[in-house]
Amino acid sequence: MSAVINTRADLEAVKGTQDYDVFMQGLRGSLTYTRDIAVYPEGYHALDYEWPKVNPVWESVEDMSMVERFHFTKAEVLAATGG
C-alpha cells in the first residue's frame, strides 16, 4: 500500500522506501510542463471551423510550485533523483 504524502513531514517519514523514491520521481516530473503557444484565429475551436489548420507550437515551461510546496529546491530534487 502506498503512503499518503501531503506534507514534507509525511515524505520524511517514508524516506528510504519505494514510496519516497516514487514521490521524488513525480516531484521531478512536476518541474516542467508543456504548453501550446500557437496563435489560433478567432473561432478556431468551433465545430464549424474549416481552414487554415494551425499546428501547435509546444514550449517547455519550468514550474516550481509543487517543489516549493514541499519546501525543496530544484537542486535538491535533481540530486535526490540522480539528475
The four Cα atoms 13, 17, 19, 21 give a dihedral, to 10 degrees, of: 110
Does residue 51 lie within any of the structural domains? Answer: yes
Does residue 3 lie within any of the structural domains? Answer: no
Structural domain of 35: 8-80
75, pLDDT greater than 90: yes
Grid coordinates belonging to 40:
489560433
Does residue 2 lie within any of the structural domains? Answer: no
CA angle (45, 49, 54) in 5-degree steps: 65
Q: Please report which confidence band the pLDDT of residue 78 belongs to, taking 50, 70 and 90 as the band edges.
A: very high
Q: Which residues contact 64 (CB under 8 A, 6 or more apart)?
A: 31, 74
Does residue 16 lie within any of the structural domains? Answer: yes
Q: Please report which confidence band the pLDDT of residue 3 belongs to, taking 50, 70 and 90 as the band edges.
A: confident
What is d(CA 28, CA 5) in angstroms, rounded to the nearest whole number? 15
